Every structure is written in structure tokens, then in C-alpha cells.
Structure 1
């Protein structure tokens, strides 16, 4: 066990958090955190959602993973991904605890980057595909940014992140999407919004994605889900904004950009209208210890 691992009630964990630079956020993808853990027998995560993408490799052990109403058995060498704003749940087999290494990241091209290694919201798990080379690069990443090293630059972080993906791209064919073809256009629109809401997408763009005229899309979506597509997009943005205000030290401008608003003024105005208080006051009242 590595010396920097800390213990809590259900795992041993070593993790490093990053605050992305302006250079990183101007790009396509940037890392948020990296780490690894050894599960205890009672390890159980979720059901819950994440505001980021998490790429996870199983180093040892067995468990179960549920996402998008699909269930997967986890084993050594497996690779799986947690997609933002999609409910997930996973746990270990008590007699063979999971040992995982993971990296969380964000950015407008995150989904495309994952598709290049065979992962998608409709196919979030690949069995036996975590190569030794990719895992070695993950350990290199942890070593480069871990405690005791000089502060890693944004270029160092990006270098290590892309090196992991580069080692996996080309090995796997893009994930097949029979589930996507089987989904109704309404479900496809819902899933598209859950993945891309932070990119400033419009209802018109969503309706174009599913191949339906905007007015018809809005009418049927509202009838099926009880809210308009615009209201649903707003709720996705506000839910992530609240999480970021509660759990991070990001500035309000960084949060505005992270949830798809062009500037701080429009974000603050929308947040106060939806939540009832300005984002600064919400953070003061709800900040995690």
C-alpha cells in the first residue's frame, strides 16, 4: 500500500485535485482529479451522479457496475466510465475487494475522446481492455503530480492525460450503439441534453440531433416529462452549478463557463431566478466543510 493513501470507512484512497488553468479550459479536455483506491468489504458507491467524466481501470478484485439501466460485472483489466449527470452505482464483492485507478476530466470534446477508446453513454464498460501500458501511464501521471513533487504545470497534466488516451486509441473499435438505435427520439433527446447541456446547446440543436421539428419536439417532450426542454436544460445547469458552489473553490466565472453560460452576469441572473438567491449567497449558506 502506498504511503500517501488515507483511510476512511469504506476504502483506502490517494487522490490529487486540480484547478484547471485558463489555458486548459480554452482547450477541448482537461483533467479534474486523479487517484486510486483499495475498497473495503463494505464499499458501495451510489446511486448518484457526477458533474464530470470518470475513466476507471480495475486493477484487482470484482464488483458490479450499473449505469443507464445496464448492469455490468467488474473484474481485473476492465475499463468503465461514469458519465456526467447520469445516475450510476457500483460496489465490490466483499471477498475480492476492488482496487481501481481513475482520472476525472471535463471539456467539450470529452465524449468524443472516450468514443475513440470504445466508450459511450450507451456502452460505458469494456471487459479486459485496460492495457498494462495505459495503466503504467496512469501511475506515471500520479507520480508527476503527487505530493513531494514540484507543482505540475497545466502542460504536464495535459501531456499525461492525452498519453493515457493515446495508448488506448486504435486498439478498440468505436463502441457499437444498438441501444442508441433502439431508443425513441425523445429518449435520445433527453440523453443528448444530459451529456451536452454545459456546452450552451439550444433546444433547436437538440431537435436537429434527433431529427424532429423543434415545435413538435418541445410539445412531445413537455407532455412526456412534465417540463419543457428549456426548463430541463436549465435544471441540469443549475444542479451542477449548485454542486460546484458547494464542493469546489472555483470562481463564479469558472462555474458560469463550466455550466454553459457565456458570462458571469447571465449566469448570476439565471441562478437567482431559478434558485431564489444569488450564487455567492448560496455558496455561503451551503458550502461543504
Structure 2
């Protein structure tokens, strides 16, 4: 067992948190968390969502992964990704415990980066694709971060992070344009909204992305999913806003910007209309409900 690991109720975990520099955030993607874990027999994550992308390497063991209404069996040398705002769940086989390395990251080009290694919201799992070199690069990243004698610079973090992806592109062909076309245009629209909802996208932009006229897109979307594309975008924003109100101390203005509203007034108005109470009151109610007796 590694010296920096701590014991939790369902795992042994070594994890490092990064504060991205302005330089990192000006780029296409940057690491946020890095870690290694060993599951206990009761290891079970979710169902839940994440605000970030999580790339996970299975080093040993077996388990099950659910995401986007799909189920995958996990095994040694598998690679899978948790996509933001998509409900996921995964757990270990009690008789063959999972051991994993992971990196969480963010950035406007994160989806494109994942597509280069064969992952996307509809293909979040790849079986047996990891080689010794890609796994070693993740260990090198963890070992560099855990070295207490030197603090990793932002450039060093980015070097380690992109080196992993560079190796992975060499062992896995990117998803081809033809593969993407096999996905229905409605599915492509949903995936686009799930990734970019906080960037002020419009229904028109989504319909242009999938190559369908807006009226037809809206009509077929409503028939298939039971809500309009605008309502779906709003639901994504509100789900993330509720999580941020519940789990962070971000100001309301910061939350408004994080979920794609231009100002606090429009965010507060939309939140009260959909949730029934203003965001400040919602946060107070959550804190009161979670306060120990």
C-alpha cells in the first residue's frame, strides 16, 4: 500500500487536488484532480453526476459501470469516462476488487480530447485498451505530484496530463466521422447540449450542429424526450445550479456564470420559476436539512 493513501468507508484512496492557474484555464483542457484507489468489498459510487470529466483506468479487478442508460462490465486494462451532468453509477465485484487510477479535468476542448482516444458520451467505455506505457505515465503523474520536495508547476501538470493522452491516441484510433454519423442526430443534439449547456448555446446552434432545421429539430426532440430542447437545456442548468448551491460556497453570481446565465437577475428569476423558491432560500433550506441535530 502506498504511503499517501487514506482509508475511507468503502475504499483506500490517494488523491490530489489542483487549483488551475489562469494560464491553464486559457487553454483547451486542464487537470483538476488526480488519484489512485483500491476498492473495498462494499465499494459503490452513485447514482450521481459530476461537474467535470473523469478519465478512469482499471488496473485490476472487475465491476459494473452504468451511464447514459448503458451498462458495461469493467475489467483489467479497461478505460472509461464519466461525463459531466450525466448520471453515472459504478461498483466493484466483491470477489475481485477494483483498483483504479483516475484524472478529472475540465476545459472547452475536453470532449474533443476524449474523442481523439475513442471516447464520447455514447461510447464512454473501452475494453482492454490500456498498455503498460499509458499506465506508467499515469503513475509518473501521481509520483510527480506526490513528491513533497518539489511543487509541480502548471506547465509540468499540463505536460504530464497531455503526455497521457498522447500515448492513448497511439493505441486507440479516434472515433471516425462515419462512427459519429451512426449516432442519430437527436442523440448528437442531446450529447452536444449535455456538454455545452453552460456556454450560452441556443436551440438554433444545436440544430445547426446536427444539420437539421430548427423547427423540425424541436418537434422531433419533443416527441422523443417529452420536453422541448429549451426545457432540456434549462433542466441541465438547474440541475447543476442546485448541486452548486448544495455542495459549494460559490456566490450566486459565480453560480449564475457557471451555468450559463449572463447575470444574477436572470438566473434568480429562472431558478425561482422552475424550482419554486429563490436560489438563496434553496441554499438555506439545504443547509438546514443537512445540519446535524
What is residue 243 of structure 2 aligned with on the other side?
243
What is residue 123 of structure 1 aligned with on the other side?
123
Is it true that 1:29 corresponds to 2:10 in the alignment?
A: no
Q: CA deviation at 1:279?
A: 4.4
What is residue 4 of structure 1 aligned with on the other side?
4
Unaligned runs of 5+ in 2: none
Aligned length: 289
| Distance change >3 Å, CA 223–CA 79, structure 1 → 2 | closer
Q: CA deviation at 1:40?
A: 0.9
Is it true that 1:50 corresponds to 2:50 in the alignment?
A: yes
Distance 2:169 2:27 in 1: 20
Unaligned runs of 5+ in 1: none
Q: Could you state the TM-score of these two structures normalised by the residue count of structure 1?
A: 0.86
Q: CA deviation at 1:214?
A: 1.0
**Mapping 1:105-254, distance limit 5 Å:** 105-146=105-146, 148=148, 150-175=150-175, 181-250=181-250, 252=252, 254=254
| Cα displacement string for residues 213-250 of structure 1 (whole angstroms, at most 9, x for unaligned residues) | 11222233234433321121121012112223332455
Q: CA deviation at 1:179?
A: 7.6
Q: CA deviation at 1:25?
A: 2.6
| Cα displacement string for residues 85-104 of structure 1 (whole angstroms, at most 9, x for unaligned residues) | 22222221211100000011
| Cα displacement string for residues 140-176 of structure 1 (whole angstroms, at most 9, x for unaligned residues) | 3223333835554433322221121122223311136
What is residue 83 of structure 2 aligned with on the other side?
83
SS of 1:28's equivalent in the other structure is: coil
What is residue 59 of structure 1 aligned with on the other side?
59
What is residue 72 of structure 1 aligned with on the other side?
72
| Cα displacement string for residues 46-90 of structure 1 (whole angstroms, at most 9, x for unaligned residues) | 233222111000111112222233332222211111112222222
Distance 2:192 2:182 in 1: 15
Distance 2:149 2:227 in 1: 50
Distance 1:61 1:131 in 2: 16
Distance 2:142 2:280 in 1: 33
